[in-house]
């Protein structure tokens, strides 16, 4: 009997004992992505509050507000910190389905950022590479969370 035949004839429990089921792997991936997204956007928000000039140059717009209009940086910073806290709070409390819906809704923010950068003649690389990629990652993570199998109560 070949090794392939022996593996095929082994009981199902023995075959799956060495690797986690696909659903568990997807759940771990979703958890890691959600944690990275929550921490990442929180970090960006802190940067906008404390070092706005260094953060703003990477956003992709050709020109930034000056003087009184620079209060925009505080608005963006608090928005991003709040978003990160919401993501991390739902993740920490195990509200995975609510987290999935929140992330799908939050995907609109970087999508809108990309549209704003493009419509104001900003950097296409930043619009697609930063904001577009972020929107895709946030939406993908939300979809992974929403398509998890629910555990029996």
**Residue ranges of domains in the chain:** 22-146
Helix extents (H) in 51-126: 52-56, 72-92, 96-106, 108-119, 124-126
Summarised one tens digit per residue, pLDDT across range 108-123 is 999 999 999 999 999 9
CA angle 91, 93, 95 (to 5 degrees): 65
Q: What is the pLDDT of residues 82-111, one digit of tens each?
A: 999 999 999 999 999 999 999 999 999 999
Q: What predicted TM-score, i.e. pTM, was given to this entire model?
A: 0.81
Among residues 50, 28, 27, 38, the alpha carbon closest in space to that of 83 is found at: 38
Q: Which two tokens stand for residue 26?
A: 């997807």
Output the CA torsion sign for 121, 126, 130, 132.
positive
H or E element that contains 145: helix 133-146
């Amino acid at each position: 009997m070949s090794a392939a035949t022996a593996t095929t004839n082994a009981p199902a429990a023995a075959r799956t004992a060495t690797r986690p089921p696909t659903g568990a792997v997807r759940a771990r991936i979703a958890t890691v992505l959600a944690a990275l997204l929550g921490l990442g956007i929180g970090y960006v928000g802190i940067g906008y509050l404390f070092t706005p000039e260094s953060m703003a140059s990477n956003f992709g717009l050709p020109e930034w507000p000056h003087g009184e209009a620079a209060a925009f940086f505080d608005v963006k910073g608090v928005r991003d910190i709040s978003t990160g806290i919401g993501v991390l709070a739902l993740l920490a409390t195990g509200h995975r389905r609510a987290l999935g819906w929140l992330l799908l809704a939050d995907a609109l923010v970087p999508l809108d950022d990309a549209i704003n950068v493009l419509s104001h003649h900003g950097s296409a690389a930043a619009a697609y590479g930063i904001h577009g990629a972020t929107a895709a990652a946030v939406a993908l993570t939300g979809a992974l969370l929403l398509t998890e199998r629910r555990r029996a109560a």
